[in-house]
Amino acid sequence: MKKDEKLEILSINTSLYKTRLSKKFKNRAQYKSPDPLTVLSYIPGTIMEVIVKPGQEVRKGDPLMILEAMKMQNIMKSGINGRIIKILVKKGDKVSKGTKLIEME
């Protein structure tokens, strides 16, 4: 280790470590918890069917839409109990990973 290199404190699961931190590590995007009120596409694909309508009450596990990817039909399910506010896609839309599909409250 060079004399001018400074060791910094890194916290991992409440344990503290003295180490060198790279510039890339220091400038990385911080983790953000996913918003449970927003349904995102977890893979790229095509919307085959939208099962819900705006204003509809849904329970955790209820199907929201069908997303086809690689010839497989994936049922997008609600992760929470709530109400559909806005549907941002329609049948036939092609979406990429991370596309916002539905907003809930």
What distances in angstroms separate CA 9 from CA 1, 12, 33, 72, 81, one per listed residue?
16, 10, 24, 46, 41
How far apart CA 99 and CA 38 sit, in angstroms, is 10
Torsion of CA 37, 43, 46, 47, to 10 degrees: -20
Give the domain ranges of the chain.
38-104
Mean pLDDT, each 10-residue run in order, the chain (105 residues): 74 90 88 88 96 96 96 94 96 96 95
Q: What's the CATH code, domain 38-104?
A: 2.40.50.100
Query: Which token pair is 16?
Result: 């503290």
Residue 4's pLDDT is 59
